């Protein structure tokens, strides 16, 4: 039915091998035949069958992604679409397509990865969501199959990962607030079992201690990414007699929630309290006051991930490495020096 390389060969009066070599720009093919063959390809509307090609070259020019499950922390809308965009765009520009799969349960997810890898469907894999002691990781590592991990870099030393330095980012923010004159600085984290929560907290701690400021337990809150949680925390904040003059939150949503709830309690941001967010979502820019936040370079993370993965696949002089994407502090209206008191 479909036009194959043999049809082209026949019509051009050459052998299939020659056509194949024309396609791959083999240097040994003469100008003349090359032109002739290309013309026929055009006429016949020939397109190589990728499957057959992959079968013999053992290479698919596909990279696989396992979609995080909805419950997963990584499925924060903003993060997800940005990183996918980074991945697909970079992949496309390198001649790769992206094969996405998912599993309803952790077990099915492992099955899916196995199928991708063993079925020779992809040349490499991006692990977007990963747990501690991830079965996927040990599997891929054992198979020596090229893969790159996004996030969680410090849990594994011998595999390639792309991450941002959450410790450094939180440290910079905290330092900046201190330099502005803040001494009572609150911290609102997400669930502490998330690495990002922990890391950002560590950065906060580090900056405080370095400045000779003691960590106050009652300035540290553990929340979830819901408005309710934010409201609850804000209520507690308001009740404090030695209320912080600035609050660092681990996500723009939290920052937004806190700002709103403080406001409900008659406190203004930034006049009465500065608030900083994280992740530079559109929310941060959209609301009033515009929220100071950290751009963690999600799009670029996607790009770098693919770049590393492709190097890994190609294998030329590739070494495992932790790749750290630079963050950028974005100062907006929600922060100012504390009132003199």
Those residues whose C-beta lies under 8 Å from the C-beta of residue 138, and which sit 6 or more positions away, are none
Does residue 317 bind its own copies (CB under 8 A)?
Answer: no
Tokens of 235: 């209520």
* Residue 314 Cβ vs its own copies, minimum distance, rounded to whole Å: 19
Between 130 and 169, how does the x/- string for binding to its own copies read (CB under 8 A)?
----------------------------------------
Read off the DSSP letter of residue 46: -
Question: Is there a contact between 163 and 324 (Cβ–Cβ < 8 Å)?
Answer: yes
Does residue 266 bind its own copies (CB under 8 A)?
Answer: no
* Residue 65 Cβ vs its own copies, minimum distance, rounded to whole Å: 8
Does residue 196 bind DNA (CB under 7 A)?
Answer: no
Piece of 6-14, 96-104, 257-265, 282-290 that binds DNA (CB under 7 A): 6-14
Which of DNA, its own copies, none binds 93 (CB below 5-8 Å, type-dependent)?
its own copies
Please tell me the distance from the alpha carbon of residue 292 to that of residue 196, in angstroms, as a whole number.
19
Between 271 and 310, how does the x/- string for binding to its own copies read (CB under 8 A)?
-----------xx-xxxx----------------------
* Residue 108 Cβ vs its own copies, minimum distance, rounded to whole Å: 8
Which of DNA, its own copies, none binds 157 (CB below 5-8 Å, type-dependent)?
none
Between 43 and 82, how does the x/- string for binding to DNA read (CB under 7 A)?
---xxxx--xx-xxx-------------------------
* Half-sphere CA count of 317, side-chain side, radius 13 A: 0
- Long-range CB contacts (within 8 A, 24+) of 131-134: 131/106
- Residue (6 or 192) nearer to its own copies, CB: 6
| CA-closest candidate to residue 292, choices 305, 316, 275, 304 | 275
Q: 125 in helix, strand or coil?
A: strand
Does residue 314 bind DNA (CB under 7 A)?
Answer: no
**Cα–chain-centroid distance for residue 166?**
13
- Long-range CB contacts (within 8 A, 24+) of 114-122: 114/139, 116/64, 117/64, 117/143, 117/145, 120/54, 120/58, 120/60, 121/60, 121/62, 121/64, 122/60, 122/62, 122/63, 122/64
Please tell me the distance from the alpha carbon of residue 298 to that of residue 296, in angstroms, as a whole number.
6
Does residue 296 bind DNA (CB under 7 A)?
Answer: no
By CB under 7 A, name the binding residues for DNA.
1-2, 4-6, 13-21, 23-24, 26-30, 32-33, 46-49, 52-53, 55-57
By CB under 8 A, name the binding residues for its own copies.
2, 47-52, 54-55, 60, 62, 67, 70, 75, 77-78, 80-82, 84-85, 88-89, 92-93, 97-104, 108, 112, 114-116, 118-121, 227, 253, 256-257, 260, 263-264, 282-283, 285-288
């Amino acid at each position: 039915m479909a036009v194959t390389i043999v049809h082209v060969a026949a019509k051009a009066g050459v052998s299939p091998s020659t056509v194949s070599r024309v396609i791959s720009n083999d240097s040994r093919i003469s100008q003349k035949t090359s032109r002739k063959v290309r013309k026929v390809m055009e006429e016949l509307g020939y397109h190589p069958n990728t499957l057959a090609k992959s079968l013999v070259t053992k290479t698919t020019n596909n990279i696989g992604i396992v979609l995080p499950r909805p419950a997963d922390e990584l499925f924060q809308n903003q993060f997800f679409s940005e990183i996918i965009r980074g991945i697909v765009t970079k992949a496309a520009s390198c001649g790769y397509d992206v094969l996405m799969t998912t599993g309803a349960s952790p077990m099915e997810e492992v099955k899916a990865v196995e199928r991708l890898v063993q079925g020779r469907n992809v040349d490499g894999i991006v692990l977007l969501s990963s747990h501690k002691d991830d079965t996927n990781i040990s599997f891929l590592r054992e198979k020596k199959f090229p893969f790159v991990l996004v996030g969680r870099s410090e849990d594994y030393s011998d595999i390639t990962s792309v991450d941002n330095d959450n410790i450094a980012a939180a440290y910079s923010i905290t330092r900046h607030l201190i330099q502005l004159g803040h001494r009572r600085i609150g911290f609102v984290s997400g669930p502490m079992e998330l690495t990002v929560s922990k890391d950002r907290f560590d950065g906060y701690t580090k900056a405080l201690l370095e400045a000779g400021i003691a960590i106050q337990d009652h300035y540290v809150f553990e929340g979830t990414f819901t408005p309710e949680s934010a409201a609850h925390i804000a209520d507690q904040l308001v009740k404090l007699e030695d209320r912080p003059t600035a609050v660092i939150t681990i996500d723009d949503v939290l920052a937004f929630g806190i700002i709103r709830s403080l406001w409900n309690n008659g406190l203004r941001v930034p006049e009465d309290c500065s608030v900083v967010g994280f992740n530079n979502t559109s929310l941060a820019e959209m609301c009033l006051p515009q929220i100071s936040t950290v751009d963690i370079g999600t799009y670029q993370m996607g790009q770098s991930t693919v770049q590393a993965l492709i190097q890994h696949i190609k294998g030329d002089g590739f070494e495992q490495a932790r790749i750290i994407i630079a963050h950028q502090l974005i100062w907006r209206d929600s922060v100012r020096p504390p009132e003199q008191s």
